[in-house]
Structures are given as C-alpha cells and as structure tokens.
Amino acid sequence: MEIKTVAVLGAGLMGHGIAEVCAMAGYNVTMRDIKQEFVDRGMNMIKESLAKLEQKGKIKSAEEVLSRIKPTVDLEEAVKDADLVIEAVPEVVEIKKQVWEEVDKLAKPDCIFTSNTSTMRITMLADFTSRPEKFAGLHFFNPPVLMRLVEVIRGEKTSDEVMDLLVEFVKSIGKTPVRVEKDVPGFIANRVVAPRGVLLHAVVEAENLTPEEVDAAFRKAGYPMGPFELADYVGIDVNYNAARYFARAVSPEYEPPERVRKMVEEGRLGRKTGRGWYDWS
C-alpha cells in the first residue's frame, strides 16, 4: 500500500488545515464539503495560511501547494481515486454514519479510512463501513498547520499494517505521531483534559468569574491561550458536541452547561461566527 492521494472530507477549521498540511508534504488532495460556500471558505483559509507561510520562507511556493488541492462538493469525485480518506465532518454520530456509509460504497477497496474525531470511539465509526480492519483514528489538533501532535488510534479491528502505515504517513507530513492502542472516548489528550472542562464551568459559576479573568490568569501562567479563548478558537459547537458525546459514553457529569447550550442555539460559535465567549467582530 502506498499513499499518494488523500481525500479530506470537511473544509472547516480542521478539514482545511489537514488538507493544507497534506498538500504541503506533496500529496495530491481533494477537499470536499457539502456546499460550495463551505468549500470556498476552506480554500480561502488555506490561501491566507499559505501566504503567511510563504512570506516566512516556510514553503517555497503557495501557488505550487495550492495546485495540489482540488476542492469539490461531489463525494464520489473526492474519494474515488483516494488512497487515504481523512474525515473531518461535524462531531455528530448520525452525520459521521451517513458519510461513512456512502464513502464505503464509493472508495477503492484498498483505500484506508480515518476519522479526525476528537472523541468518538473508532470501533463504532469503523463498524459503519465494511472494512473495519482498514479504519483508524487520525486526530489532529487545531490549528493543524502549527500543532505537531497527531494521535493515531487503533480501533478493535484495525490491522497492524494500517497502524504502521499511518504512523509513517504522519511522519511524512512533518508531524509527531502518538500511537493510541486503547480506543476510549477522547483517546489520550481529550480524555485527560475533558474533566477540566467540567470543573472549569462549575468553579467559574460558583466564584462568579469572567472569561477575561480566567484567561488572563492562564496567560500569566505561561499558557498560549486561556480556556475560554481556546474554546472560541476551537469552536463552541465542537466542544459542545464533544461534551455531549462524553456525557453519553463516559458519564452524565460531562453534560455541557445550559449557557453553552444556549450559545450553540444562538449561533455564538466562537471566532468563526464573530462571537463566542468574546466578541471577535
């Protein structure tokens, strides 16, 4: 098995960054989303990011990297020649199920399937397809262009060959792979940080703290961002869906607080919508 062509499903905050990183490493990439406006927005984010990297001399030619990325809304076109699919669609089980059932019918038989899910058990997602031995987790961190860690997660049926190939793939795109052999919700990083989210909201409400106060304290302690800025950066909806999944899969204590549910309902999703905990407009 050799990976030459990568299909990235989803052109959002994670999808566009993953497509960019793969193209920077020389892979041919198709990036697919369900609406032309989403694909266009993803391509614009890639162009902005590549322009910065070119200016800093981190890549030779933004144009050349861009020429390797083919945007599309057509799922069949996106996956039919792919050797590797990286799915980065919303963190909602029903959406992932629908996408994987379709991809399973359209992709080549030897194509490897991966999900960038940040929480969901890989074994569950793999079982939406007819090739769970070729299915693994490939979990990037936001922003994929700058963050080095990628978790490579084994589902219960993932073959050794696929795990090894993905570890090499992650190295080939200049990232640091961490093999996760135990398929638990949240894998390693998010499994470990998730309880912090629950306690954070409890403490902030009990002590009547503002996001500004909390974030300022974190920055002074040396963190690049405080937890509320980070939530706006990652997406309030992403964190909300992750917490809901944890509430079902791990413990009801993870159920997101009412005020976060309201933010999602009102479309206050963080930087991407101009408002979250902060006003970014």
- Active-site pick, 87, 139, 239, 241: 139
Task: Mark whether 118 is an active-site residue.
Answer: yes
Alpha helices (H) along the chain: 13-24, 36-55, 62-66, 75-79, 93-106, 122-126, 160-172, 189-207, 211-220, 227-234, 236-249, 258-265
The answer to whether residue 224 forms part of the interface with ligand CAA (CB under 6 A) is: yes
The answer to whether residue 195 forms part of the interface with ligand CAA (CB under 6 A) is: no
The answer to whether residue 196 forms part of the interface with ligand CAA (CB under 6 A) is: no
The answer to whether residue 118 forms part of the interface with ligand CAA (CB under 6 A) is: yes
The answer to whether residue 263 forms part of the interface with ligand CAA (CB under 6 A) is: no
Please tell me the number of Cα atoms within 13 Å of 270 on its side-chain side: 17
The answer to whether residue 141 forms part of the interface with ligand CAA (CB under 6 A) is: yes
Task: Mark whether 139 is an active-site residue.
Answer: yes
- Active-site pick, 49, 116, 190, 239: 190
Cα angle for residues 106, 10, 230 (degrees, 5° grid): 150
Nearest distance, CB of residue 230 and ligand CAA, angstroms: 6
The answer to whether residue 52 forms part of the interface with ligand CAA (CB under 6 A) is: yes
- Active-site pick, 87, 91, 151, 229: 151
The answer to whether residue 219 forms part of the interface with ligand CAA (CB under 6 A) is: no
Taking the C-alpha atoms of residue 95 and residue 75, their distance in angstroms, rounded to an integer, is 14
Long-range contacts of 274-277 (CB under 8 A, 24+ apart): 276/231, 276/232, 276/236, 277/211, 277/228, 277/229, 277/231, 277/232, 277/236
How many residues belong to the site for ligand CAA (CB under 6 A)?
A: 16
Task: Mark whether 151 is an active-site residue.
Answer: yes
Contact 100, 89 (CB under 8 A): no
The contact set with ligand CAA (CB under 6 A) reads 49, 52-53, 118, 141-143, 145-147, 190, 224-225, 230, 234, 238
Just list the catalytic residues: 118, 139, 151, 190
